[in-house]
Amino acid sequence: MSEGFDLKELAVVARDKSPGGRSKMFALLARLFWRRGAIMKPKEKVMLAEILRVLRPKTLPEARLELAYEIAGSTLAEPDLLKVFAEDEIEIASPVLFSTNRLEPSDLVSVIEARGVSHGTVIAQRKAPTIAVVDALAKLEDTEILRRLLNDPEAPFSIPALSSAALVAMTDVDLQRLIAERRELPESLAEDMMTWADPIVCEALNGRFQFDAMIASAKQPVYGQKASVLPEEPKPVTDEGGEIELSPASMISALRADNLALFQAQVAHLANLRMGLVRKLMNENGGDSIAFIARAIGLRRDEFAQIYLLVRKLRTKSGGIGAADLGQALDFFDRTEPAQASSIIARWRRESAREALTESEDLAPPPVAATIEPPAEAEGAPDPETGA
CA distance 339 to 330: 18
Please list, residue by residue across 152-174, b when 16 or more beta carbons sit within 10 angstroms of its beta carbon and e when fewer do.
beebbbbbebbbbbbebbeebee
Instruction: Determine contact, residues 82/99, Cβ cutoff 8 Å.
Output: no
CA distance 315 to 281: 12
Of 13-17, 355-359, 378-382, where does mean pLDDT reach its minimum?
Answer: 378-382
Ramachandran category for residue 298: left, alpha or beta (phi over 0 → left; psi -120 to 50 → alpha): left
Of 161-175, 231-245, 305-319, where does mean pLDDT reach its minimum?
Answer: 231-245
Cα 292–chain centre separation: 16
What string of DSSP letters covers 40-60?
A: S-HHHHHHHHHHHHHHGGGS-
**For range 270-277, the mean pLDDT:** 84
Look at residue 262 and tell me whether its pLDDT is greater than 90.
no
Of 55-69, 160-174, 234-248, where does mean pLDDT reach its minimum?
Answer: 234-248
Closest by alpha carbon to 85, among 138, 34, 42, 140? 34
How many other CB atoms sit within 10 Å of the CB of residue 382? 10
pLDDT tens digits, residue range 34-56? 999 999 999 999 999 999 999 99
Look at residue 248 and tell me whether its pLDDT is greater than 90.
no
Residue 321's pLDDT band (cuts 50, 70, 90): low
**For range 261-284, the mean pLDDT:** 83
Per-residue model confidence (pLDDT) at position 69? 95
Element (H, E) at 137: helix 131-139
- Helix axis angle for 61-71 and 79-86, nearest 10°, is 140
CA distances for 74 relative to 21, 22, 109, 250, 371, angstroms: 26, 24, 20, 52, 86
Per-residue model confidence (pLDDT) at position 22? 92
Instruction: Determine contact, residues 313/323, Cβ cutoff 8 Å.
Output: no
pTM for this predicted structure: 0.54
CA distance 27 to 69: 13
Residue 229's pLDDT band (cuts 50, 70, 90): very low
Residue 224's pLDDT band (cuts 50, 70, 90): very low
